[in-house]
A and B are shown apart, each in its own frame.
Chain A
Amino acid sequence: MELDDLKPTWQKSQPTTTSNTDIMQLIQHKTYGPVAALKKAFRKQIILMGIIPVYFILINTNDLPHVLNSVILWAYIAFCIGVIVFSYYNYRMVTKMESMDNLVKANLEQQVNLLETRMKWKKAGLVIALAFFILLTEIVPYFQHYRMLDKWHALHPAIRFLIYAALFALQYFANTWVNERRYGRHLSYLKELANEMH
């Protein structure tokens, strides 16, 4: 079969799907793509992380001085701020991925680059968050929440650190699994296509 012989037929051919689409109506729709879904998820995350600490303070207004002196609350607020910053960074990143009018090759390379960077930052962010909470669990009972000293800190340090190590391992495998499920195949597919461009 010679392609050139079929060119005239190809150019004359009408697509099988010629529904009478209302273009004006179509453009009023929101995009359902994964980038839009990610943006929505990050927006929700930002709002939620902003609301939760405020809600926590509001329900404890009776005991406000005590609550405001809680190291755990401030640590949690710091964590929420961290998540907000990270979500905002991600939001900006996926916004860049929305631009579809670049050259095909440049667009593919950009998508691969952004997804890889996002995954790297997510990995680092999770490790930092976990280390932060472990540090908090280890240090806070010496200043506040002294009851923890009789419970968690009563365990042999070797056991506690083994559990922390297990948490790091679990976090690593869970993150790898989630990444693979959500972006892994897509990223491999994009990389494969980007390689085809050389």
Chain B
Amino acid sequence: MQKQEAEKEFEKHIREQELLLRKVCRIYAYTDADREDLFQEIVIQLWKAWPRFKGHSKLSTWLYRVAINTAISGLRKKKNFIRNYEPAAMPEPVSEHIGVDDEEERLQLLYHAIEQLNAVEKTIVMLYMDDRPYEEMEEIIGLSQGNLRVKMNRIKEKLRELTKNY
């Protein structure tokens, strides 16, 4: 009975925050199939960690932590230890994505530029774009706010460089 209640409560929270989790999958996995695998793995990890969530931090902060750790540490349905290094699974270069007429296309261009960043940079830029304050970013990543600001400025430069022709 108690387990059922816990499951229902968990499901309710996951449904509410599904968009957040899907965005994490969008950032860290390159294909739809990989994103589904990652989403599944994240939900399983969240469920396993759920009894340890005591509400000391915001639920979204905790969800980000588990989701990002799962995505970065490679708990993925892959042979051996994660990471698909096959060329076909790597992101296409930004230059192959043309057409930045409207906001949606610019957003797609940004996503493709973000794919060129490393996992730590992806984490920072994703949280920044989700409008998470530096204080919360510090609680998720574990880097000082000053360090995060410096890194964010460098990432902005990098993304400007990657998209400068558009």
Contacts and interface: CB of A to CB of B under 8 A. Distances in A.
B36 A19 contact: yes
Contacts of A102: 65, 69
Interface string B82-124: 1101000000000000001001101101100100001111010
B36 A17 contact: yes
B78 to A, nearest CB: 7
Interface string A59-101: 0000000000000000000000000000000000000011111
Given A1-B109, A31-B41, A100 B69 contact: yes
Interface residues of A, number: 51
A27 B43 CA distance: 7
Nearest to B27: A15
B43 A26 contact: yes
Contacts of B52: 101
A105 interface: yes
A18 B18 CA distance: 9
A7 B26 CA distance: 16
B78 A27 contact: no
Contact of A107 (B11, B73, B77, B107): B73
Contacts of A6: 103, 106-107, 110, 129
A181 interface: yes
Range of interface residues on B (Cβ < 8 Å) = 35 or more
A157 interface: no
Among A31, A36, A99, A192, chain B packs the most CB atoms within 10 A around the CB of A31
Contact of B73 (A18, A26, A27, A100): A100
A1 B68 CA distance: 26
A186 B143 contact: no
Nearest to A38: B81
Contacts of A23: 10-11, 14-15, 43
B119 A33 contact: no
A120 interface: no
Given A1-B159, A18-B22, A23-B14, 9 more contacts: A1-B160, A3-B156, A10-B107, A11-B129, A99-B49, A100-B49, A104-B72, A105-B141, A107-B73
Interface of B: 7, 10-11, 14-15, 19, 22-23, 25-26, 32, 35-37, 39-41, 43-45, 47-49, 52-53, 62, 65-66, 68-70, 72-78, 80-83, 85, 100, 103-104, 106-107, 109-110, 113, 118-121, 123, 125, 128-131, 139-143, 156, 159-160, 163, 166
6 contacts: A3-B159, A6-B106, A27-B10, A101-B52, A193-B72, A196-B118
